[in-house]
Amino acid sequence: MDYKECGARATALRRQLESQGARLVAVSKFHPTEAIMSAYDGGQRDFGENRAVEFAKKARELPDDIVWHFLGHLQTNKVRMIMPHVSLIHSVDSDRLLRLIESEAARIGRTVDVLLQVHVAREETKFGFTPEELTEYVKELPQLPHVRIRGLMAMASNVDDTERVTDDFSRVRQVYDQLRQGAMAANPDFDTLSMGMSHDWPLAVAQGSNVVRIGTAIFGEREY
Ligand SMILES: *Cc1c(COP(=O)(O)O)cnc(C)c1O
């Protein structure tokens, strides 16, 4: 892999997304710091990781002005590890996790932004609140002085069927709009809808996504 291409690809995607009102998170999981720095040198600042250990290591080693996003399922025993570095946690999928994020943020004296993850994909088990669970949950949100709930994150069904993917994104958009007009109306920070990956981001943006998480289309295939 020629890392120089990562920089050019990230820049092109970022400009394209910006012109459509969406922000690019470059998903660098499993890719080396050289790849990240190529995108960084092209002006990319938002990067996403989904494993706590890898996240913390990269955040310690790389420039301080990188805005770090955490994307994957976050185990409660890993919250402390990411807390000093993370700007936005996209994957809050339980009340327990949200309360733990609050207490860890309070412990180190900071405030952290989070998204609640919505489960709409109709295949295998994925993490997140169903739209119904979420609607109930936000009605009785606990007091969280060190957490700002910024919006929602979701993944669509991993299928080639454009209609079905669009339908998944559209359901999340509806929940997002309902919350903005209802339970979260008093919360001006609730402004973020994180949807779309390498293969489906145009469909997500068409449904109102304003944060897109792209890995493969920038950095190439991951080696697991
Ligand atoms: C890996 C990952 C992405 C990026 O996926 P690509 O298909 O490589 O663009 C986006 N969101 C989440 C939650 C991820 O784990």
DSSP the chain: --HHHHHHHHHHHHHHHHTTT-EEEEE-TTS-HHHHHHHHHTT--EEEES-HHHHHHHHHHS-TT-EEEE-S---GGGHHHHTTTEEEEEEE--HHHHHHHHHHHHHTT--EEEEEEEE--SSS---SB-HHHHHHHHHTPPP-TTEEEEEEEEE--SSS-HHHHHHHHHHHHHHHHHHHHTTTTT-TT--EEEE--TTTHHHHHHTT--EEEESHHHH-PPP-
Q: Whose CA is nearest to atom 15 of ligand 1?
A: 72
pLDDT tens profile 41-85:
999 999 999 999 999 999 999 999 999 999 999 999 999 999 999
pLDDT value of position 65: 98
Secondary structure string (H, E, C) spanning 42-54: CCCCEEEECCHHH
Contact between 191 and 128 (Cβ < 8 Å): no
pLDDT value of position 224: 60
Average the pLDDT over 166-182 and give the result.
98
Q: Whose CA is nearest to atom 6 of ligand 1?
A: 215
Whole-number Å distance, alpha carbon 12 to ligand 1 midpoint, is: 18
pLDDT tens profile 94-139:
999 999 999 999 999 999 999 999 999 887 667 999 999 999 999 9
**For the chain, percent of residues with pLDDT exceeding 70:** 98
pLDDT tens profile 32-42:
999 999 999 99
**For the chain, percent of residues with pLDDT exceeding 90:** 92
Ligand 1, from 23, 25, 27: best to mutate by most atoms within 8 Å of Cβ?
27
pLDDT value of position 1: 61
17 alpha carbon, distance to own chain's centre: 15
Whole-number Å distance, alpha carbon 107 to ligand 1 midpoint, is: 30
Residues lining ligand 1, judged by CB closer than 6 Å? 27, 29, 50, 71-72, 197-199, 213-217
The pair of structure tokens assigned to 47 is 């990067």
Q: Is the pLDDT of residue 223 over 90?
A: no
Whole-number Å distance, alpha carbon 196 to ligand 1 midpoint, is: 8
Whole-number Å distance, alpha carbon 190 to ligand 1 midpoint, is: 23
**CA dihedral angle for residue 204, residue 171, residue 86, residue 7, rounded to 10 degrees:** -10
Q: Whose CA is nearest to atom 7 of ligand 1?
A: 198
Whole-number Å distance, alpha carbon 214 to ligand 1 midpoint, is: 6
pLDDT value of position 153: 98
The pair of structure tokens assigned to 220 is 């190439």
pLDDT value of position 79: 98
Q: Give the chain's end-to-end CA distance (angstroms, integer).
A: 16
pTM of the predicted model, to two decimals? 0.97
Whole-number Å distance, alpha carbon 131 to ligand 1 midpoint, is: 21
pLDDT value of position 123: 72
CB burial of 105-122 (b: ≥16 within 10 Å; e: otherwise) equals beeeeeebbbbbbbbbbe
